[in-house]
Each structure stands twice: as C-alpha cells, then as structure tokens.
Amino acid sequence: MSKVPETVAAVVIPLTWSNWVLPRLGLGVRGRTAANAAFATGYGATFHGSPNWFSAKGFRYGAVAAALVSAGYGVALAIPSVRSKLHEFDDRGPEVSPAEWIAVHIPIGTVYSEELIFRATLDPLLDNTFGTRAGSVLGALTFGLWHVHPARAAGDGIPVTVAATAAGGVALGRLRRRTGSATAPALLHLAVNVGGAVAPRIARLLGTSAKP
C-alpha cells in the first residue's frame, strides 16, 4: 500500500491542472495545446508512464477501432435524419482554421496529452495499486472529471459530459490493457474526435448541396 500516496497524487494533479490551473492561465487554443502537451509530457516522465507508442499490436487494434468509428460516421452521414442532427452541432474550434484544429489541436492538445496522462500513466498506476477492476473504474472516473471545466466553458451539461467521457475512458482503458500500448486507444480517440469535427461540416455541405 506504499504506492497509495503516489497514486492519489497522480489522480489529483491532472484534475487540478485541467479544472483549475489551465483555465486561469488565460491561454488561447494554441497556448492550451502547447501547455497540455507540456504538462502531459512532464506528468508521464514524473510518474513513469509507459505509452509503448510503437507497439504493432497497439497499432493493429487501434486501426481496426478507428476504422469502425469512421464507418459509423459514414453511416450516420448517409441517413438523412441523423445527418440533419449532425448539421446542428457547434463548431468547437472557432479560433483556428478547421485544418489546424484537426491536424494539430486534436492530435496533440487532446489525444496525445490525454492518452499519455490517462492510459499510459494513470491507469497502470491505479491497476498496480488497487487492482485492475478498481483501477479501470477509478481511471475512467478521473478521465470524466478531467472534462468538468471544458464542459462548463462550452456550455455543455457537466453530469452528461462526465458520464459520457467516463464511459469512453472505460473503452479506451480496455484497449490499453488488451494491447499493452496507448497507441490503440489513441487511434480510437483520434477517430472519434476528428470524426466529431469533420462530420458536422460534411453534413452542412451535404445539406447545402441538397438545396435547390
């Protein structure tokens, strides 16, 4: 149980960063991306994270998961009623161009940072300290709580956001445990977030082109 204080610190530090420190820095999108990436890198080094980015197994599993998500977005866009709902989604990258948001801020500011913090570093610590079952729950809950301030800033419902991201954390954590690599959850995470940014734009384009 000597690892408990270190593990508790590993839980508290990212929550403090995301919900208190980072918002008070007053940074724009680019600054937040750089700050998150720097924080994640330092956090991973401090708590001995092991992302195993170059795992072939992680890449295979992640590629399949990402392909399934991409196919799901494709199906959604093909169904008019669902496409009309996607059309209504807000643009979450208003300060930068869509290309920059998708090519830089999602992969670095979100996917790299969160997968290094949670799947590569925190989840293994929790598993080693409390066991895999408790570690899975605690890791997913911490991932959900990481999103409290971002949800508030975006005007989203906090309980719904925490629940949804915690559920996502369970799935991402399972991929990491299955493959021993953060690459698999990172590719899935990337597909979900990029699809979430691209699909509404495609839906709007299709809606516009369908008008007489």
Q: Where are the domains of the chain?
A: 3-209
3-state SS, 102-113, equals HHHHHHHHHHHH
169: which 2 tokens? 């954390």
Whole-number pLDDT of residue 28: 94
Whole-number pLDDT of residue 204: 87
Rg (CA), the chain: 18
Q: What is the mean pLDDT of each run of 10 residues along the chain (212 residues)?
A: 87 99 96 98 98 98 98 96 83 80 97 99 98 98 98 94 98 98 99 95 77 48
What's the half-sphere exposure (Cβ side, CA atoms, 13 Å) at 146? 26
- Report the predicted TM-score, pTM, of the whole model to 2 decimal places: 0.94
